[in-house]
Structure 1
């Protein structure tokens, strides 16, 4: 499928200081028939008014503050489909864009048709450090992680990689995914795990998940709300904060969300190991802190080594497979 009518969907809730420069950098990169759709989910910092004044060409959809990421993506994607989009680009408002990111992402979609294609994501704070080359899963070891995380961008990850799941940042999605009834599950996964669940269901429906490293974007790692504060703040963790992390939509540790994800995707025999991996270290460090056994340390910047491969393996195109 040729990428012509491309709609970029950007969910926002405040953060105009991130949204405005990102929009300004994205506008000149859009194809002639492309449109930018900002879903403003109840911002109180004047996001909509500022965007309307500065960039009237941007489509602004209004949420009520309860859409979260998943609901906002669905609202934007529905608008895109109503406008006959052939691709929907998922973007975060605090992403820093490389000038060639979209051109290369579109090239990746042409090289790998019938695929969800994402960029190589690097750390904005450390531009030579990889944040994601796509998601990986090892059910046997109970691990869910991002390939390449924490590794230097030294050329080892310069070939396309097939993923098990994709983070929802700079993902080019064929509109046919939504037309086949595969939407982000905003009821079960309003924020965290919405992206992995969505991409895994697309993969189960026959779409490929490809990381195309010629396309590059930069993630503001330190701007991720409660989950970042929890990881960075283990040394000051309180029982109240710990309990909040198990119930808040802003936390990747929310029990209900992770239970739903396991029941939908994971083999039953992997549940104990997966749960232990997800909560064991976290709980242990909190208990050590509370009982004075040791000082908890931040895990920020700790690399998750890929046990299957240290270097990327080139993914063959459909023509090469035939």
Structure 2
């Protein structure tokens, strides 16, 4: 049995981009951390709202890397993780700037990680219970949902704060607060920089599942997130192109063939929805991106498939068979689309 060691050298990585208003509360909460060994690294993505001035005025010890432009959430976190692990970090904790933490959350995350190791579990990524900062009795996410067609969302968002008697196993962690051990980084890798932002947490979780890693929510660890659902056209662009990249890169070829009709059908529905929602141009730009970056997608796909140790069938139960968004209520989705998706999910299970 592995000896439990609390106090791993953990680097907290925070990527900022015009987040000046959130930083005082975040760093005030970080100043109360009880964990014995942590280092804070901030990657500022060329903020223009005074964020650099706030970072320079902090009284606590914080390392900051100032970038001239916004290279994206994924690229900046990758730069931070590469720097941290090269400097001797045992784990990295990726933390959104619009969060506030509780004093013992990092120690509890680490304890959960060590306890799973002692059980002989090949533990991958972890996250805390993430509650809404403005509504602290409501859940933001205790693990994200992954749909088999590539959609991802905060599972059970706005539901009452959960009470657990164990650390639940989850399919995907939330990028708002993601605990990544060094071994996972070495074997699975960081984010896909081509994503820029959105769905990167789902992708890095999915790739770990393909190497037989298991992800968990540390149920005693709690943070608060100032979460706002965004329907901006920029988000639709990244979310849609990234959803398709996740599917194209992570599934076995046979699975893609079986999923072909459902993938085409959902694309037609999204195209119609994009016309009504005003992001049709962004959807088309997403297709163009996929064509322009087809060599990158193929290269990443080859890397993922070469590293996988389990089949798609082995992780099929990790996926959701219906689309359930707390922010979107649509009778067409509830009464027509989801029944069809559930039926197709069951069909694929039999065919894999």
Q: Could you tell me the TM-score, scaled by structure 2's length?
A: 0.68
Distance 1:52 1:215, change over 3 A: same
Distance 1:63 1:255 in 2: 27
- Report 1:288-303 matches (<5 A): 300=327
Structure 1 segments unaligned to the other structure (5+ residues): 231-244, 290-297, 308-322
Structure 1 residue 170 corresponds to structure 2 residue 177 = yes
Aligned length: 276
Structure 1 residue 69 corresponds to structure 2 residue 73 = yes
Structure 1 residue 13 corresponds to structure 2 residue 40 = no
C-alpha contact (below 8 Å) 2:33/2:102 kept by paired residues: no
Distance 1:288 1:302, change over 3 A: closer
C-alpha contact (below 8 Å) 1:10/1:39 kept by paired residues: yes
Deviations 1:99-131 (A, max 9, x none): 332222122112123431101112223222222
- Report 1:176-255 matches (<5 A): 176-180=183-187, 182-187=189-194, 189-222=195-228, 228-230=230-232, 245=233, 248=234, 250-251=235-236, 254-255=239-240
C-alpha contact (below 8 Å) 2:41/2:62 kept by paired residues: yes
Compute the displacement of 1:68 (Å): 0.8
Compute the displacement of 1:260 (Å): 1.2
Q: Which residue of 2 aligns with 1:242?
A: none
Distance 1:151 1:271, change over 3 A: farther
Q: Looking at both structures, which has the greater relative contact order when contacts are Cα pairs under 8 Å and sequence separation is at least 6?
A: 1
Q: Which residue of 2 aligns with 1:117?
A: 126
Q: Which residue of 2 aligns with 1:147?
A: 155
Structure 2 segments unaligned to the other structure (5+ residues): 118-122, 279-324, 340-352
Deviations 1:246-267 (A, max 9, x none): xx3x336644322212212343
Q: Which residue of 1 aligns with 2:49?
A: 45
Deviations 1:66-99 (A, max 9, x none): 3211011111111111220001001000012233
Q: Could you tell me the TM-score, scaled by structure 1's length?
A: 0.74
